């Protein structure tokens, strides 16, 4: 669904009028394209708090951006990476201010701020206080930085383990991700043979991929080299076949809630599976007082129970290979709650519980399990939302606009990458830093 307001504010009369009226002026986001695969401008690398993260300079150099310590006079950097992993005191936090205050205004529209922090110490409460302070700092900066710019915190002890994450956050692929805190564990990263085709040789299954976000996920995984199996309900057979065919993939018409769904998936993938994307989802909104049991049951079945059942079965049968990646779909409604969505929010919060508990257990098999939590994304699902609520949903985030399916797809592709082995058990919101939820 077209966001006419966004287009209007992109024109000279629109900018003038909305400026005079004090209305929001969302910036047009620059997303990845083959012609514009990188941010345009240099990358500033700064350090606060003394001990820098080993190997970070090399990782940043490999992003393809020109890395500098100080911008030339008049230069507008496209990104700043602040290594604050060594900040352990309030005095160290002053260095965070000192490093970013002079440059934040000069960042290009759509520019990126990435702060690197350390895991919170269990023994040193001064370190924990200083490191947790970075979270409040980054979330606030995301809210005030404007003009399509974003800010994130990545907690890591290893620059190389964080390479795939830094590449994602410092690229146009993360245009609609802001205000996130991502923890990267120190695993030996399996860097892909090619960062341009990181999923080459991998097989992916995307549920609910006849249309909407799922179709975009299937297309993005295909772009990154994966062979994709597209699954959707038999009623969407024709749309599903078109999507799969356009990607050179395979269509699997199947209701994911069918009792034999996992067996049929396993049978369709005799050589196994590397990437499992649980994207199929439904809404059946009513306030609880008006919600019949069947509305509750169908949403919980599609959005949560089928995810639990198929995940268990595909792990047990070994269909999901060692080193595999699972990406499930939560929602900001599952974090913040939403009127009329007790069923939907319960199902999406359940996904977060699943991710937190199962992910660490999968780590020993080299498998990761993460969730994307979309905010307002322009799809058929949100087109059905009444106009005023839809307009509020679009604007109530730091970027002042709804996201596109491709924003969720890019985030999924990053989590699915072999290089993202250190990203496990995370819930990453793709919501333009929505005002709803943490």
Structure tokens at 156: 């890591």
Among 3, 95, 224, 232, binds ligand NAD (CB under 6 A): 232
Does position 25 interact with ligand NAD (CB under 6 A)? The reply is no
- Which of helix, strand or coil describes residue 194? coil
The 139-178 site mask, x for binding ligand NAD (CB under 6 A), equals ----------------------------------------
Return d(Cα 291, Cα 298) in angstroms, integer. Answer: 12
Nearer Cβ to ligand NAD (3/163): 3
Does position 257 interact with ligand NAD (CB under 6 A)? The reply is yes
Q: Check: CB of residue 146 under 8 Å from CB of residue 192.
A: no
Nearer Cβ to ligand NAD (273/302): 302
Taking residue 380's Cβ as centre, other Cβ atoms within 10 Å add up to 10
Q: Which residue is nearest to ligand NAD (CB)?
A: 281
Among 233, 275, 409, 415, binds ligand NAD (CB under 6 A): 233
**Minimum CB–partner distance for residue 305 and ligand NAD (Å):** 11
Instruction: Tell me the chain's radius of gyration from C-alpha atoms.
Output: 21
Among 203, 236, 398, 434, binds ligand NAD (CB under 6 A): 236
Name the catalytic one among 32, 137, 344, 414: 344
Q: Is 344 a catalytic residue?
A: yes
Structure tokens at 370: 């993460």
Does position 319 interact with ligand NAD (CB under 6 A)? The reply is no
Q: Check: CB of residue 326 under 8 Å from CB of residue 278.
A: yes
* Structure-derived torsion over alpha carbons of residues 318, 319, 325, 329, reported in degrees to the nearest 10: -120
The 369-388 site mask, x for binding ligand NAD (CB under 6 A), equals -----x-xx-xxxx------
Using CB under 6 A as the binding rule, the residues of this chain from 322 to 361 that contact ligand NAD are 329, 331
Structure tokens at 422: 């250190």
Return d(Cα 240, Cα 247) in angstroms, integer. Answer: 11
Quote the longest CA-to-CA distance of the chain: 65
Cβ density class 410-429: b for 16+ within 10 Å, e for less:
bbbbbbbbbbbbbbbbbbbb
DSSP label at residue 72: P
The 266-285 site mask, x for binding ligand NAD (CB under 6 A), equals -------------xxxx---
How many residues are recorded in the chain? 438
Q: Which residues are known catalytic residues? A: 344
> What residues line the site for ligand NAD (CB under 6 A)?
207-208, 210-214, 232-233, 236, 255-257, 279-282, 302, 329, 331, 374, 376-377, 379-382
């Amino acid at each position: 669904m077209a966001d006419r307001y966004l287009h209007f504010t992109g024109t000279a009369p629109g900018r003038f009028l909305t400026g005079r009226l004090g209305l929001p002026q969302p910036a047009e986001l620059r997303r990845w394209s083959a012609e514009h695969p990188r941010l345009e401008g240099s990358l500033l690398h700064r350090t606060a708090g003394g001990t820098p993260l080993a190997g970070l300079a090399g990782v940043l150099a490999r992003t393809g951006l020109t890395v500098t310590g100080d911008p030339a006079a008049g230069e507008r950097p496209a990104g700043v990476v602040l290594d604050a992993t060594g900040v352990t005191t309030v005095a160290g936090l002053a260095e965070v201010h000192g490093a970013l205050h002079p440059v934040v205004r000069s960042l290009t529209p759509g520019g990126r701020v990435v702060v690197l922090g350390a895991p919170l110490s269990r023994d040193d409460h001064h370190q924990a206080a200083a490191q947790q302070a970075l979270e409040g700092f980054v979330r606030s900066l995301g809210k005030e930085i404007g003009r399509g710019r974003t800010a994130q915190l990545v907690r890591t002890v290893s620059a190389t383990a964080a390479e795939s994450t830094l590449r994602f956050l410092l690229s146009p692929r993360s245009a609609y991700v802001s205000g996130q805190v991502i923890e990267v564990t120190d695993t030996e990263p399996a860097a892909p043979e090619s960062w341009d085709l990181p999923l080459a040789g991998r097989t992916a299954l995307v549920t609910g991929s006849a249309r909407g976000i799922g179709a975009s996920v299937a297309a993005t995984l295909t772009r990154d080299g994966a062979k994709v199996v597209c699954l959707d309900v038999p009623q969407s057979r024709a749309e599903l076949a078109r999507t799969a065919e356009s990607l050179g993939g395979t269509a699997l018409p199947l209701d994911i809630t069918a009792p034999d769904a996992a067996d049929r998936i396993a049978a369709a993938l005799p050589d196994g599976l590397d990437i499992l994307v649980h994207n199929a989802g439904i809404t059946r909104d009513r306030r609880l007082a008006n919600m019949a049991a069947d509305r509750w049951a169908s949403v919980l079945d599609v959005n949560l129970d089928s995810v639990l059942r198929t995940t268990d079965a595909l792990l047990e049968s070994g269909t999901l290979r060692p080193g595999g990646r699972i990406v499930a779909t939560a929602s900001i409604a599952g974090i913040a709650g939403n009127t009329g969505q007790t069923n939907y929010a319960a199902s999406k919060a359940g996904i977060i519980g699943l991710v937190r508990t199962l992910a660490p257990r999968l780590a020993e098999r080299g498998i990761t399990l993460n969730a994307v939590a979309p905010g307002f994304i322009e799809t058929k699902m949100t087109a059905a939302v009444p106009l005023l609520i839809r307009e509020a949903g679009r604007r109530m985030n730091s970027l002042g606009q709804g996201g596109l399916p491709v924003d969720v797809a890019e985030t999924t592709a990053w989590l699915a990458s072999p290089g993202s082995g250190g990203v496990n058990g995370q819930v990453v919101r793709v919501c333009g830093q929505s005002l709803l939820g943490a």
